[in-house]
Structure 1
Amino acid sequence: MTDRPSAPQSRTRLTGWIARVDWMMLFPVVTAIAWASGQDAVAMVLAIVLPVFLALNGDILRHRTDRISALSMLSSDQPLARPVLKRIVDDVLDDCARRDRTTAVLHIQVDDLHIADGGWGADAGDKIMDRVVQRVAATMRGQDAVMRTGDDGVIAMLAPTRRADLDIIMAIVDRIQSAVSAPISVDGRTVRVHCCIGICSEAMAPIRSGAAILAAAECALRIARQHGNDAVRAFNADIQMQIETDHRLSTQVEDALDAGEIRPWFQPQVETRSGRLAGFEALARWHHPELGILTPAQFLTTIASAGRSAELGEIILKASLEALIEWDRAGLDVPCVGVNVSLEQLTDPRLAERIIWQLDRYDIAPDRIAIEILETVTLRDGDETITRNIKAMRDAGFRLDLDDFGTGAASIAHIAQFGVHRIKIDRSFIHGIDASPMQCEVVAAILGLAERLSIATLAEGVETPEEQETLAEMGCPHVQGYGIARPMPFHETIPWALSLRAGPSAKLRMMQTQGSA
């Protein structure tokens, strides 16, 4: 049984129907036909009653017309300015209030657009975004609004609806992400992109206004982006607090770098069969005087926003070189240390020169430093600066590790062109591998192809002895993860490495480490 509309709802529907210009143009014709056919009463109603009705309801009709006009702007392929967005959302909120309806805003950020650089052509990014907007629109209802905002953003807004709870919104999110992630053909080449989404419904908003809903959706998106591809977050009080914390950190980051509060912790990497130490990965930690130990997920975006990524990279490299010297003095065999290099650093034409200079200064052999780059960086093979830096570091003797392999769209064959020494298989393929035949098949395929191309492998995110044993049986030479050891400050690395060397077996050592974590 359908709900019977109330009187205000019926009135709104009638005014909205009358406000459509195409219908209004028919009234003079209908009136003339009524007079000609002798329907004087009908003609009188159309000629007199209708103008009176329009005069009495002019504000409602004007608002309805303005809202329809505003929403129609969203079909444009050009990004709209924020004041226009605020006005549109305010108009929809007003309409919701009159009709006892609700709405929601989804702020969508498209990742991986950088793959359209280089040989793709200057307008490839715009072409990809045009396809994305079309796909998002196809997942929505006809009356919903979809628009571009900025170079890689899309906003989807629900037209007034009876329900906009999280279950309904997440169903929309699933459709959007599925549509966006499908292959896109541009200029004869195929690409896949991902998107993160921030959500704010009318009920979630801290204040019932267009500005507040848009800002809240943007806050949720910012947090989602910190969690990687396809992450989704809905606005709540915790997100508001996290954004406030981010703002607080942004005012402190420069002093923290100068004061040495941000420095590396080291996570061990071991050989699966022998259990011997294969190296460490240097991971930044912020020793905040009030908030405690902060992980990279909590502050790297702040570092990047402050334009201090290069400085952070130099701090981590310098501390890693000093750590190697101290490990040598302690008689430990630490083959290499992995140091992460950001995309921002790789776009610096003098990056390779500075890193080589630092190694010369500390008299460290280049092959004891593994330069870790993200898989998506290899997709920028048309970027001359990045290619030049990678080639210079490889030619100088540095090891090249490819981080988070499997999360991007590059093939191992493509990666081999960069001279990568080792790929680090993303944790998403490793978790629960001992109980998943499908994951075993995928990882076995990666290991087999890597071996054929003489590329070493390391499995990230190993958490249990069973996962380590399975990987050892499959022939994965190196492992890393909480099941081996958590990242630790430098002063804990020497005792840990000494206990590893003296322990009875790799498996027992891992179980002991896991139990004490």
Structure 2
Amino acid sequence: MLAFLPALSLAGFWMGGEAVLLMLSLSMPLLYMVAGDRGAALAPTGSVAALGADLVDAQGAQELADRMLHAAREAELSTACYVIEAAELDALARHFGQDTAETLRELMLRRIRTMLRREDLGVRIGDARYLVLLGPALRLDLETQLAVADRLQRAVEEPAETATGTHYLTACIGFCGLSRLPDGSDGAQLLEAAQTALADAQANGPSAVRAWSVGMRAERRARVSLLSDIDRALANGQIQPWYQPQLCTSTGRISGVEALARWLHPERGIVPPADFLGPLDEAGQMDRLSETILQHALTALRGWDAEGIDLPRVSVNFSATELRNPQLVARIRWELDRFGLDPRRLAIEVLETVIAESPEGIVARNILGLSELGCHIDLDDFGTGHASITALRRFPVHRLKIDRSFVSRIDRDEEQRRMLAAILGLADRLDLETLAEGVESAGEHALLAQLGCDHVQGFGIARPMPAAHLSEWARSHAREIAGARDLGRSSG
């Protein structure tokens, strides 16, 4: 009889059956007295009260999962594991300080625990990550597990009040039920399955929820293999920049190039950046990548100078991770001195979201330091983040890179054209240059020039290419510009 109580409690609590839950609560002491010592076997040995811990390390998390699995199997019942990531906690820590972040971490844990039964377990396993293990239950089907995930997510995403204001968090959740794992699986495997599902959820955007499946195991193995290949790729020079030209709309001349990382894999061919930049960041190798791309870009720039190719500037992307490096400004100054290049010929591309999340601190100091060094600062993907006009004035931004989503179909869509005109008007009032990304047609190119956009870049102009190919393209483009100019004179 007692075997049915966890399942009934689960349904009553998670599905909102308060009457059923009250009845069970009143009858449970009598039933446990009748059952004698069997009730003790159903209680998970890793309860919060017994552990007295809110934060556990990786080994502790595995031990907790092992205990819950053991309790479930002893009672011939089931369990499930959830891993929850509160996405904005790291950014809030940088923006408002560690005290605010710690207050929110504790609040999130309390909220998670209020969603759980006495038999369940909720702990924190990282700065923004939480572990939930469900106590043994007779039946934990996918629908029930999803209902639990929904309740946990809503608890975390409820607006939170602190001394620094109201904060809004989003939560991604990955989970796995015992029934989905092979017989004999241990706590480490249960935890890994939930974390794999979380990684899949995070790859699908904010507030995503994913249940573990066998297919995810193959994807995870491929990801691990990719990470090991990345280390060799960086050491062997397989990851290098390709360059995409940027044109001045007034003269048609090349005004610069953007250095874009490309992995030339000996077996897989060209690996798209979307497939390796995430794993590279996870492996803590972004600084190494930026150093590689910067050295190649400056080498290429000096080589184009030697060939007599007029190429004013090269742009290099820097992530938030790289911009938090306290030695960044000194390193770039040293590299520019080593190559004998004017700092004005290097543009640093910073995502709009980085500026929005980092109004002060090391990121802001690095951006200011790079600007004072003489480097140009480009605000990348403008319009897709949350940077305010105040932030634009606080940071030394030289140019707005307008995201492709605002450029697409401007020659056919009146509303899109008005939106772009408003962005260009804002940039003009703030005395900022503009560059439109993702230009794919002659119509878009022509209209951008008419609207007053300063520079354009996209497949409609040229695709990214190796440095040697860019030399050929630049010479060919210069001849076209000269020919058009001569034709204009003869026509006049």
Indicate the structure (1 or 2) with the bigger Cα radius of gyration.
Answer: 1
| Corresponding pairs, count | 467
Q: 1:83 aligns with which of 51, 62, 86?
A: 62
Partner of 2:289: 312
| 1:323, distance to aligned residue in structure 2 (A) | 1.5
Does the 8 A contact of 2:44 with 2:67 survive in 1? no
String of CA shifts for 1:62-95, please: whole Å, max 9, x gaps: 233337x737789985457313541465268549
Measure the CA separation in 2 of the matches of 1:193 and 1:343. 19
| 1:295, distance to aligned residue in structure 2 (A) | 3.4
| 1:331, distance to aligned residue in structure 2 (A) | 4.4
String of CA shifts for 1:276-305, please: whole Å, max 9, x gaps: 433221122222323332233333355445
Measure the CA separation in 2 of the matches of 1:386 and 1:13. 50
Does the 8 A contact of 1:106 with 1:199 survive in 2? yes
Q: 1:380 aligns with which of 340, 348, 358?
A: 358
Does the 8 A contact of 1:74 with 1:145 survive in 2? no
Check 1:12–1:188 CA distance in 2 against 1; reply closer, same or farther (3 A cut): closer
| 1:151, distance to aligned residue in structure 2 (A) | 1.0
Partner of 2:18: none
Which amino acid in structure 1 is aligned with residue 102 of structure 2?
A: D
Partner of 1:115: 91
| 1:13, distance to aligned residue in structure 2 (A) | 6.7
String of CA shifts for 1:198-252, please: whole Å, max 9, x gaps: 3445565466554323202212333554666556655445533343233334444
Q: Does residue 321 of the first structure (1) align with residue 298 of the second (2)?
A: yes
Q: Which runs of 5+ in 1 are unaligned?
A: 1-6, 28-45, 505-517
Partner of 1:217: 194
Q: Does residue 348 of the first structure (1) align with residue 325 of the second (2)?
A: yes
Check 1:127–1:473 CA distance in 2 against 1; reply closer, same or farther (3 A cut): farther
Instruction: Report 1:394-409 matches (<5 A).
Output: 394-409=371-386
Instruction: Report 1:83-232 matches (<5 A).
Output: 83-87=62-66, 89-90=68-69, 94=73, 98=77, 105-117=81-93, 120-133=96-109, 147-156=123-132, 164-165=141-142, 184-202=160-178, 204-205=180-181, 209-225=186-202, 229=206
> What secondary structure sits across from 1:66 in the alignment?
coil
Instruction: Report 1:422-441 matches (<5 A).
Output: 422-427=399-404
Partner of 1:337: 314
| 1:460, distance to aligned residue in structure 2 (A) | 3.7
Does the 8 A contact of 2:351 with 2:381 survive in 1? yes
String of CA shifts for 1:257-316, please: whole Å, max 9, x gaps: 332222111233344676543322112222232333223333335544555433332221
Which amino acid in structure 1 is aligned with residue 379 of structure 2?
A: L
String of CA shifts for 1:27-60, please: whole Å, max 9, x gaps: 6xxxxxxxxxxxxxxxxxx9xxx96x424xx33x
Measure the CA separation in 2 of the matches of 1:74 and 1:477. 62
Question: Which has the larger displacement, 396-405 or 326-335?
Answer: 326-335
> What secondary structure sits across from 1:373 in the alignment?
strand
Partner of 2:240: 263
Question: Which has the larger displacement, 367-376 or 218-227?
Answer: 218-227
Aligned-residue sequence identity (percent) comes to 37
> What secondary structure sits across from 2:341 in the alignment?
coil
Measure the CA separation in 2 of the matches of 1:248 and 1:194. 30
Does the 8 A contact of 2:347 with 2:378 survive in 1? yes
Which amino acid in structure 2 is aligned with residue 111 of structure 1?
A: A
Partner of 1:415: 392
Measure the CA separation in 1 of the matches of 2:115 and 2:257. 46
String of CA shifts for 1:94-139, please: whole Å, max 9, x gaps: 49964xxx76544232334343346723321122334445666788
Does the 8 A contact of 2:262 with 2:270 survive in 1? yes
Check 1:24–1:288 CA distance in 2 against 1; reply closer, same or farther (3 A cut): closer
Measure the CA separation in 2 of the matches of 1:451 and 1:334. 25
Measure the CA separation in 2 of the matches of 1:390 and 1:490. 27
Partner of 1:54: 35
> What secondary structure sits across from 2:47 in the alignment?
helix
**How large is the Cα RMSD of the aligned pairs?**
4.6
Measure the CA separation in 1 of the matches of 2:365 and 2:270. 36
Check 1:199–1:470 CA distance in 2 against 1; reply closer, same or farther (3 A cut): farther
Check 1:9–1:186 CA distance in 2 against 1; reply closer, same or farther (3 A cut): closer
Which amino acid in structure 2 is aligned with residue 351 of structure 1?
A: L
Partner of 1:391: 368
Check 1:308–1:443 CA distance in 2 against 1; reply closer, same or farther (3 A cut): same
Partner of 1:362: 339
> What secondary structure sits across from 1:348 in the alignment?
coil
Which amino acid in structure 2 is aligned with residue 395 of structure 1?
A: E
Which amino acid in structure 1 is aligned with residue 225 of structure 2?
A: R
